[in-house]
Amino acid sequence: MPKDHGIGASSKRREDVRFLTGRGRYTDDINLRGQAYACFVRSQVAHGRLNGVNTADAEAMPGVIRVFTGADFEGIGGLPCGWQVTDRHGEVMQEPGHPVLAQGKVRHVGDPIAVVVAETYDQARDAAEAVVIDIEELEPVLDMKAALEDGAPKVHDDLTSNLCYDWGFVEENREAVNKAFETAHHVTTLELVNQRLVPNAMEPRVAIGDFDPGTEDSTLYTTSQNPHVIRLLMGAFVLGIPEHKLRVVAPDVGGGFGSKIFHYAEEAFCTFAAKQLKRPVKWTCSRSESFITDAHGRDHVTKIELALDAEGHFQAIRTETYANMGAYLSTFAPSVPTWLHGTLMAGNYKTPLIYVNVKAVFTNTVPVDAYRGAGRPEATFQLERVIDKAAREMGIDPVELRRKNFITQFPYATPVAVEYDTGDYNATLDKLLEIADVSGFESRLAESKARGKLRGLGINCYIEACGIAPSHLVGQLGARAGLYESATVRVNATGGLVVMTGSHSHGQGHETSFAQVVADMIGIDENMVEIVHGDTANTPMGMGTYGSRSLAVGGSAMVRATEKIIAKAKKIAAHLMEASPDDIELKDGAFTVAGTDKSVAWGDVTLAAYVPHNYPLEEIEPGLEETAFYDPNNFTYPAGAYACEVEVDPETGKVTIERFAAADDFGNIVNPMIVDGQVHGGIAQGIGQALLEGAAYDEYGQLLSGSYMDYAMPRADDVPFYTVDHSCQTPCTHNPLGVKGCGEAGAIGSPPAVVNAVVDALQRAGHTGVTHIDMPLTPSRVWSAMQG
Amino acid sequence: MTKVTMTVNGKPVSGEVEGRTLLSQFLREGLGMTGTHIGCDTSQCGACVVHVNGQDVKSCTMFALECEGAEVRTIEGMANADGSLSTIQQAFQDHHGLQCGFCTPGMVMTAAALLEKNPKPSEAEIRDYLEGNICRCTGYHNIVKAIMAASGQDVGAIAAE
């Protein structure tokens, strides 16, 4: 029987009621008394020398309060980068400045040059059109390989080249890997593009700066996944405001997918301008603006080689990747193609030797950073595609080739620096074959054929590292931050609890699932537990939500804090019942003395904590509030297997997803309904990447796919119902809940399944020369592939 | 500035607007009704769908002045008279048809309009009708399921839950 409450129950989401009735409170819903409105003037060219900005006409327009330019920010810090990669030769990466408003040059379409602040939104927009910009256009740097050639124009004049870093991993294995390829029985090579994507959370970014002249406190309301991180980065590195004078609030946030992790110029601008003008300043991003300012994702060009022995055992993997950084280093950009990508190149398989080379390149495009999966989808895609290709070349069934190479003993130390604590890849693959009804494929194939359609089946596995991250480890890898999480549990006198978490919910349903955990631990109703997040003024220092970390790291902090609460409450209960604390048991919200019928209710103990008339004051303090910080000692490793069945129209090349199944091992599950939903959404984003989405630049550096008219978002009629299962559970061995994280899996596991399926369909139809098609698999690309 | 008068969720309202003021802008800024969301600027995403004289429209594609004298219904007017969730709203909660909630007002308004016209839509009809509403979180699975459930159809056989 499914549970109806606590850990393991599909509790309905409490946050839904406000969202369904129009009572959510998103940042753009906030309006402060006396607020002014900001409109950014942005570069319309990809690369140029900024010779002048004339604001005179704009300043004379109705309602204009002030026009800001780069000159206002000359003495102010630039946007910091939170990760420093060390290259193959032991040198640190090249790290260019990233001004709030352009200084001397513009480096991508959308680069902010000036800002008009006016009494109304429309007045600010009207005046922005009157700002005159004098730009001398320069040749744009767009193609990554051309950017590294001698004599290529430079994005940053003060750097030696457009190369951010040339990273080798594991550099010491390089020669051994090369040797393995020289002696290999078979080598499969695949060159591919993991195309640039635009994250497109449905809520565009918003920032509102506020300043209290009385206390000299600054407040920023922003669409962020991690308000404490923004407070630290913006306060310490950009504006010079100490944490105790700066509050950052991220209220209801309409999706993030990584794009709202980063510190953006608009946040710093609004906070700065509010202080200058002594009134609130609000900026609301339009969708068109979001396309050219939100950090993009992916954009890797890769060559992967897989060496196999005669039986199909993997001997070595060698990859060379060009990773686009865009024009500046976004907050965590350097970590994505390196530590979030190279460390996953072992996948689910025993491959003794792996060498990953990544060249990160500056170009005149929007900065690229983490997007759902961040590095792990890129690793999974190339690995699972090259395995399929190798299977075909060697005449081995692709499922059997995977099984033959599965890691089956845990813990398992990979040759790329991580240790998988637990897993069962055969179990998820077996489950997948069952739920995808793979045995029925042949009859569905025949039925498709009868209708004149091609049909294909694609299967792949994936593994990811989440629960980000052990601070000591990421510190060695270049992180300029710790990646623990925090929680304060406050028990009120009448027994209700408030959990103040450093995690942030922007769709994940923490207000429900976190409450389930605490209620389960104490044995009380979930409605007695309130989850507070998103405001640095009332939550402990936390690192926020990304990398499928909230339950694994933030939930663990909450469990630790609740354990402290229970330990203290037991002492109080022991005092009330005149027993030893060691004999006290807590069950169903009541404290009992083992072996007796003595009992006190949860509420009696919490009341005693705050009305300590009969209380062991000499031993413990009054009150019942505890904080815990949790720093994981390893990543978590969700893994699974995905299957996609497609039909291809041989006349047009149009691909339709007919069936999609996912079998995931997320360890223990708190709310199965929410987990299903996370996987569904990830799969749709993966299908979007595989078939529809792509950020396309023209030769001048203009973003061609700059609105929903041109950037093909997956819509309801592009996707089917999905079959998802998470009954295979190997609990994480190192966090108290045994959870692994589920937020990114769908987006990581699904793109190769779709592409494998399309290639399979074409191969079955006799197009044996088609071994790969680059994403997105648009009708024209698929049709062209069929023409040879 | 011109005065505009309309009925929103059964209440007469009026305000001073510019000719270029969009209905979505008037609802959010003029009336402070922030349940209607703005997710794009090309009338593609559908987060701003409301009903005007019973017809579902993207409120970013109408000027406020075009709604002079109109009956407008927004997400704030969708709950039952006693404040409880209506059938369609309840189905979205029961079947986890929303995550971040940003597209949700438009989804609910579009779904309600569909069920007015077609009380028992098929899966394909629902997916087709939702073509103008983008959701980035749910992969649409549970939205489609919720709409089928709201129309009284058995969704027990739909994969995964």
Sequential DSSP letters for A166-223: EEEETGGGHHHHHHHHHT-SEEEEEEEEEEEE----SSPPEEEEEEETTTTEEEEEE-
* Residue A70 placed within a domain: yes
Domains of chain B and CATH, by start: 2-77 (3.10.20.30), 87-150 (1.10.150.120)
**Is the domain of A703 the same as that of A778?**
yes
Q: Of A491, A565, A564, which is closest to residue A530 (Cα–Cα)?
A: A491
Mean pLDDT across B80-87: 97
Residue from B28, B31, B40 whose CB has the most chain A CBs within 10 Å, to mutate:
B40
Contact A707 B36 (CB under 8 A): no
Residues of chain A with C-beta less than 8 angstroms from the C-beta of B50: none
Contact A22 B133 (CB under 8 A): no
Within its chain, how far is the Cα of A584 from the centroid? 43
Closest chain B C-alpha to A676 CA, distance in angstroms: 7
**Is the domain of A677 the same as that of A585?**
no
* Structure-token pair, residue A660: 């999609």
* Residue A226 placed within a domain: yes
Closest chain A C-alpha to B112 CA, distance in angstroms: 13
CATH number at residue A282: 3.90.1170.50
- Domain boundary among the residues A291, A306, A340 is at A291
- Contact by Cβ (8 Å): A62, A124: no
Give pLDDT tens digits for A399-432: 999 999 999 999 999 999 999 999 999 999 999 9
Sheet holding A485-491, edge to edge: A529-532, A497-501, A485-491, A625-630
- Contact by Cβ (8 Å): A227, A261: no
What confidence tier does A625 reach under pLDDT thresholds 50, 70, 90? very high
Say if residue A659's pLDDT is above 80.
Answer: yes
- Contact by Cβ (8 Å): A338, A404: no
* Residue A337 placed within a domain: no
DSSP state string for A318-363: EEEEEEEEESS--TTGGGTTTTTTGGGTTTTB--SEEEEEEEEEE-
**Is the domain of A615 the same as that of A509?**
yes
Mean pLDDT across B107-132: 98
**Is the domain of A626 the same as that of A730?**
no
Q: Quick one: chain A helix, strand, coil %, rounded to 5? A: 30, 25, 45
ipTM of the complex: 0.98
**Is the domain of A54 the same as that of A112?**
yes
Q: What is the pLDDT of residue A720?
A: 98
- A521-525: long-range pairs with CB below 8 Å, 24+: A521/A559, A521/A562, A521/A563, A521/A566, A522/A497, A522/A562, A522/A566, A522/A586, A522/A589, A522/A602, A523/A586, A523/A587, A523/A588, A523/A589, A523/A590, A523/A602, A524/A495, A524/A589, A524/A602, A525/A5
Q: What DSSP element (H or E) covers A244?
A: none
- Domain boundary among the residues A582, A602, A630 is at A630
Mean pLDDT across A632-657: 98
A698-712 in b/e form (b: 16+ CB < 10 A) is: eeebebebbbbeebb
Q: Where are the beta strands (DSSP E) in chain B?
A: 2-8, 11-17, 49-52, 55-58, 71-73
Give pLDDT tens digits for A742-783: 999 999 999 999 999 999 999 999 999 999 999 999 999 999
| CB interface of A with B, residues 489-518, below 8 Å | 506-509
Report the C-alpha gap between A595 and A14 in whole angstroms. Answer: 39
Give CA separation, A479 vs A333, A334, A335, A635, B124, in Å: 11, 10, 8, 15, 48
* Structure-token pair, residue A755: 């592409």
CATH number at residue A779: 3.30.365.10
**Is the domain of A592 the same as that of A648?**
no
* Residue A391 placed within a domain: yes
**Is the domain of A626 the same as that of A655?**
no
Point out the residue among B35, B102, B145 whose CB comes nearest to the CB of A202.
B102
Say if residue B160's pLDDT is above 50.
Answer: no
Q: Of A160, A142, A164, A138, which is closest to residue A150 (Cα–Cα)?
A: A160
**Is the domain of A497 the same as that of A625?**
yes
pTM for the full predicted model: 0.98
* Residue A11 placed within a domain: no
**Owning domain of residue A81:** 27-138+202-255+260-291
Give pLDDT tens digits for A179-231: 999 999 999 999 999 999 999 999 999 999 999 999 999 999 999 999 999 99
Mean pLDDT across B73-91: 97
What confidence tier does A788 reach under pLDDT thresholds 50, 70, 90? confident
DSSP state string for A625-640: EEEEEE--SS-B--EE
Give CA separation, A611 vs A210, A379, A601, A618, in Å: 39, 57, 15, 15
Q: Of B110, B126, B105, which is closest to residue B55 (Cα–Cα)?
A: B110
Pairing of strands A36-42, A655-665: unpaired
* Structure-token pair, residue A2: 């499914």
**Is the domain of A78 the same as that of A213?**
yes
Point out the residue among B44, B74, B99 whose CB comes nearest to the CB of A677.
B99
Count of domains forming chain A: 3
* Structure-token pair, residue A198: 């635009």
A485 and B CB contact within 8 Å: no
* Residue A417 placed within a domain: yes
Size of interface A-B (CB pairs under 8 A): 197
Residues of chain B with C-beta less than 8 angstroms from the C-beta of A509: 99
Closest chain B C-alpha to A726 CA, distance in angstroms: 10
Using DSSP, state whether A289 is helix, strand or coil: helix
Q: What is the pLDDT of residue A1?
A: 66
Point out the residue among B35, B45, B137 whose CB comes nearest to the CB of A22.
B35
What confidence tier does B157 reach under pLDDT thresholds 50, 70, 90? confident
Mean pLDDT across A234-249: 97
**Is the domain of A498 the same as that of A585?**
yes
* Residue A150 placed within a domain: no
Q: Of A384, A332, A219, A421, which is closest to residue A751 (Cα–Cα)?
A: A384
Residue from A14, A19, A642 whose CB has the most chain B CBs within 10 Å, to mutate:
A19
Q: What DSSP element (H or E) covers A135?
A: strand A132-137
- Domain boundary among the residues A576, A597, A630 is at A630
**Is the domain of A621 the same as that of A661?**
no
**Is the domain of A87 the same as that of A219?**
yes
- In degrees rounded to 5, what are phi and psi of residue A752? -65, -30
Give pLDDT tens digits for A54-68: 999 999 999 999 999
Report the C-alpha gap between A368 and A159 in whole angstroms. Answer: 19
Using DSSP, state whether B28 is helix, strand or coil: helix
* Residue A8 placed within a domain: no
Q: What is the pLDDT of residue A342?
A: 97
Q: What is the pLDDT of residue B158?
A: 87
Contact B159 A722 (CB under 8 A): yes
Picking from A3-7, A226-230, A330-334, A419-423, which range would have the lowest pLDDT averaged per residue? A3-7
CA angle, residues A265, A270, A276, in degrees to nearest 5: 125
Contact B130 A715 (CB under 8 A): yes
Q: Of A294, A321, A435, which is closest to residue A379 (Cα–Cα)?
A: A321
Q: What is the pLDDT of residue A563?
A: 98
B95-129 in b/e form (b: 16+ CB < 10 A) is: bbbbbbbbbbbbbbbbbbbbbeeeeebebeebbeb
Mean pLDDT across B81-89: 97
- Contact by Cβ (8 Å): A97, A105: no
